[in-house]
Structure 1
Amino acid sequence: MLPAEFIKSLQNLIPSDRLYFDPVDCYAYAYDNSRKFFPPECVIFPLTTDETAKTVRLCNQFKIPLTPRGRGTGTAGGSLAEQGGATLSLEQMTQIISIDPPNRALVTEPGVLNETIQAAAKPHGFFWPPDPSSAAFSTIGGNLATSAGGPHAVKYGTTRDHVLGLTAVTGKGDIIKTGCYTTKGVVGYDLTRLLIGSEGTLAVITEMTLKLTPLPAAKSGLVAHYQDADSCASAIVSIMKEPQGPSALEFLDSGSLNLIRARNPELLPSDSQAMLMIEVDGTEHEIPETTAKLLAACQNSGLLKAVSVQNTADLWKVRKTLSPLLRDIAPKKINEDIVVPVDKIPRLLAGLSALCKQYQIANVNFGHAGNGNIHVNLLIDPDNPSESERAYKCLDQIFDLVISLNGTLSGEHGIGSEKRPYIGKELNDATLTLMKQIKLTFDPNNILNPGKLFP
């Protein structure tokens, strides 16, 4: 239970309409997209950096675990209050502070939705490149917490590449400023990139300066269908060899296509066993030449059909139908966002197929092929102990496969609690020890999102 003195001090700090203590109210903050439940004992809604700092100091004083949270769209359990205590919801910090077209910058609070940022930048001829599939629901703060990517990361990079500076509150309650307002700056350590992707374990980000990118003048697309995954994987390697590459390159395997066909048979050819969705952007002059080169790169003996798509919105209809369909067919999915070098994708897909066959686990694979970022979905019934056991044994070997291919365990979802047992496969003891020391420098009492990341 929370100490009475802590509750009284918190009520003196934060107005009652921005505090939840009732378990019914708190329950809405007990889960994220990992589908696990850890109810906090209270939920706090700060509006300013100063309120956030005072809240962190108060939690330090009473050693209360404090879990920062955006909209809870993450899949790795990073925003769950595993150790109880308080959840710090930043969802009411929703001000876009400034938009500065000459300097290609936008300053915002963390509770603003990704989609809102895009809408604000667009009239000025700019956009913010990170575009996770949850853009309509996920906050900018949450995007920074996991260094979100999305389909267009193949050309534009992930969140770390598009943030100039931050204001943040450390686990001690100190207010720090990192980075700078300019696109050039080499003063001190790069704490901005350190905090991005740290999943709320080092500091609470309360303001961010985003680097905007000019909107492309034109877009076009291609759809390519293959008779098998091997042919499709070979095409991915050929496409990414082209210097004038795609702005997005998405892969869908036979399991993905079968799911879509079952609900929307008109969207896909009946004989397609693997599919690429390719987007190209640039000037009106560049588009035809780039499209022609990528169309040539798609050609191999397994190609069934490759066609141009003028309306790129149509290109993403297929992709966006997948996640809801996965929820319909399986009580639970183990959703991983592994990454391998692009030229290792053929070996990865072959290995995934062999492992899932060995352990008799249904799986669906799709994702951002241009980065080698494949979303592996193991579909299981959690009420079947034997199936769950087989699935986690399969997952363990999938991670071993990824590391053997010089890959990484997470491309954009983060570690949170879901991948926590496996982080030692990628990071050695000396590296983990240094990371823990950094954590305690920022957060000496280990109150910020305690227990996350490290096994």
Structure 2
Amino acid sequence: MPVPASLLDTLHAAFGDSACSTRDAERIAYAYDNSRRNALPDAVVFAQDHAQIEALIHACREHRVPVIARGRGTNTTGATVPVEGGVVVSFERMNRILSIDPDNRFAVVEPGVLNGDLQRALAPHGFFWPPDPTSSPWCSIGGNLACNSAGPRTVKYGSPRENTLGLRAVAGTGESFRCGTYTSKGATGYDLTRLLIGSEGTLALITEATLKLTPKPSSLRTLRATYRDVSSAAHAVARIMAQPVTPCALEFIDDVALKLAHDHGGGDVPLAGAMLMIEVDGEPETLPSAVDAVSLAAHGEGLEELRVAQTAEETQALWSARKALSPAQRTISPNKINEDVVVPVSHLPELVNGIRELSRKHDVLIVTFGHAGNGNLHVNLLPRDDAERERAHACLAEVFALVISLQGTLSGEHGIGLVKREFMPLALEPATLNLMRDVKAAFDPDGILNPGKLLP
């Protein structure tokens, strides 16, 4: 049903006419995200401060109208698609870095700050915020927190959950609260900060985040190892992660992905059974021994070549395959199904071999790459027509079943959203899901925050 006129009057008063719209242009622009799913909201508002979020949730709760928080729409699981209509609240104008405190190693930001803008602001202070998704030039901190989105550096430095000290938020009741600390240690009650991170806007809307900063290492070395087959590369990942030096990036790319990238990106991309991109960071005096330790672990059955970049230009050339992957996939399938799954690192060989078997069984092209140091792989199914799309969805269910059988989980950083809801009972037992529903009811008793997402 359409938004009541009295609610629209309240929203216009709270946000101003220029930041509250029911026009088709805005409704269409905020109806979809990078999942390519879409559903029209009834209205769109553009938040600029915390008080507006309080007013929004109070008003929408009174009228039982859904509220869907949105950053920049880079999510791939449909987490920001307003499937039940309602009001989309965009945080793109709440984009201030409120403070940077190098002495205490934290920064306070609004949710609309872009990840890349924050990293640039931190660089002169000698710090960075470890989460660095591939979409960092365009994705917002609020979106990173909503889905616990991380990126390659997670293997060494952790995800948003490990790098966020505290939050300010508004629950589905309209009540404001703060959680967490300004300190790196704290044991005062339940950890609501970590609970909200990854909750996809279903419990509360985050209006401010206190982020834990990390000193930027002064040196970095990039290595590229090619292998005879995916199994050899997967076993090398397990060896690398079993020794004391933790790389700051450890990326896996299978042979199908390499061929796509080679055809799209040219001669800098090697053709091999599989490839690992490895980065090691640290101080100049310790870096050589760290590189030696990682190199030793990378050697083993199936290794074809190990290259260490000596210059920035060589580093860029070594990364060319990884950078060419996304545009290469789009040339094959505009309807690609992009999933990220996680298994314990020692089970990676079984995962990559199992995915290869499922690709053959269902006759669907699958490209596999990702953050192998965490056991987090992006499984990209590339259907090219309706028949392949149907087979791809059947294949996907078996991919998830394989992951769960290997003690894995459905998502490492993309979240659940709309796309993976139906598979949640595969990953979590009924008692666990019931507890999650109880938590949802405590924060959002009327179910107005991002309905139709995450919980089945």
Deviates more, 1:292-301 or 1:408-417: 292-301
Residue 242 of structure 1 corresponds to which residue in structure 2?
243
SS state at 2:225 partner: strand
Residue 106 of structure 2 corresponds to which residue in structure 1?
105
SS state at 1:332 partner: coil
Q: Does residue 374 of structure 1 match 2:377? A: yes
Residue 233 of structure 1 corresponds to which residue in structure 2?
234
Percent identity, aligned pairs only? 49
Return the letter of the residue paired with 2:3.
L
Residue 61 of structure 2 corresponds to which residue in structure 1?
60
Q: Does residue 296 of structure 1 match 2:299? A: no
SS state at 2:270 partner: coil
Indicate which of 357, 362, 366 corresponds to 1:354.
357
Residue 116 of structure 1 corresponds to which residue in structure 2?
117
Structure 1 residues without counterparts, runs of 5 or longer? none
Structure 2 residues without counterparts, runs of 5 or longer? none
Return the letter of the residue paired with 1:352.
I
Q: Answer yes or no: is the 8 Å Cα contact 1:23–1:41 preserved in 2.
A: no
Q: Answer yes or no: is the 8 Å Cα contact 1:42–1:85 preserved in 2.
A: yes
Give the Å deviation of 1:314: 4.1
| Cα deviation code 1:204-231 (max 9, x no counterpart) | 0000000000000100011001121111
Residue 201 of structure 2 corresponds to which residue in structure 1?
200
Residue 335 of structure 2 corresponds to which residue in structure 1?
332
TM-score (norm. length: structure 1): 0.98
Return the letter of the residue paired with 1:285.
E
Return the letter of the residue paired with 2:427.
E
Give the Å deviation of 1:232: 1.0
TM-score (norm. length: structure 2): 0.97
SS state at 1:110 partner: coil
Residue 217 of structure 1 corresponds to which residue in structure 2?
218
Give the Å deviation of 1:244: 0.9
Alpha-carbon distance in 2 for matches of 1:105, 1:317: 33
| Cα deviation code 1:51-103 (max 9, x no counterpart) | 11111100001111110000000001101101011101111001100000100
Q: Answer yes or no: is the 8 Å Cα contact 1:334–1:377 preserved in 2.
A: yes
Give the Å deviation of 1:315: 3.9
Give the Å deviation of 1:313: 4.2
SS state at 2:284 partner: coil
Q: Answer yes or no: is the 8 Å Cα contact 1:341–1:406 preserved in 2.
A: yes
Residue 305 of structure 1 corresponds to which residue in structure 2?
305
Give the Å deviation of 1:303: 1.2
Return the letter of the residue paired with 1:71.
R
Return the letter of the residue paired with 2:307.
V
Return the letter of the residue paired with 1:376.
V
What does 1:48-447 align with in structure 2 at a 5 Å threshold?
Answer: 48-270=49-271, 272-310=272-310, 311=312, 312-381=315-384, 383-384=385-386, 386-447=387-448
Alpha-carbon distance in 2 for matches of 1:419, 1:172: 27
Q: Answer yes or no: is the 8 Å Cα contact 2:236–2:299 preserved in 1.
A: yes
Alpha-carbon distance in 1 for matches of 2:228, 2:361: 23
Alpha-carbon distance in 2 for matches of 1:100, 1:189: 26
Alpha-carbon distance in 2 for matches of 1:58, 1:405: 46
Cα RMSD (Å): 1.1
Alpha-carbon distance in 2 for matches of 1:160, 1:250: 21
Q: Answer yes or no: is the 8 Å Cα contact 1:220–1:309 preserved in 2.
A: yes
| Cα deviation code 1:213-271 (max 9, x no counterpart) | 0000100011001121111111111111111121110000011101111022211234x
